[in-house]
């Protein structure tokens, strides 16, 4: 059974910069998909009105509080 995703569509998040993520970004989640093979959620972001094609894992993101 799938657990509830850590981030919801429309939630503001920021990308944790590290080895796999070299571009700092702050945006909103515009898509959440369940990856059956990896058994975890993948998240798609929208930054300044533009969709980012990269998939992010929950570990790559932090909730951004205004």
What is residue 1's predicted lDDT score, i.e. its pLDDT? 59
What is residue 65's predicted lDDT score, i.e. its pLDDT? 81
Instruction: Decide if 13 contacts 6 (C-beta within 8 A).
Output: no
pLDDT of 66 higher than 80: no
pLDDT tens, residue by residue, 7-34: 999 999 999 999 889 999 999 999 999 9
pTM exceeds 0.85: yes
Mean pLDDT of 36-62: 97
What is residue 5's predicted lDDT score, i.e. its pLDDT? 96
Alpha carbon distances (Å) from 49 to 19, 27, 33, 52, 59: 26, 9, 20, 10, 23
Rounded to a whole number of angstroms, the distance between the first and last alpha carbons of the chain is 33
């Amino acid at each position: 059974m799938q657990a509830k995703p850590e981030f919801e569509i429309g939630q503001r998040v920021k990308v944790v910069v590290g080895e796999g993520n070299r571009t700092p970004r702050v945006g909103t989640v515009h898509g959440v998909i369940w990856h059956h093979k990896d058994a975890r959620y993948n998240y798609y972001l929208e930054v300044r009105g533009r969709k980012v094609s990269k998939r992010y894992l929950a570990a790559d993101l932090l909730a951004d509080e205004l």
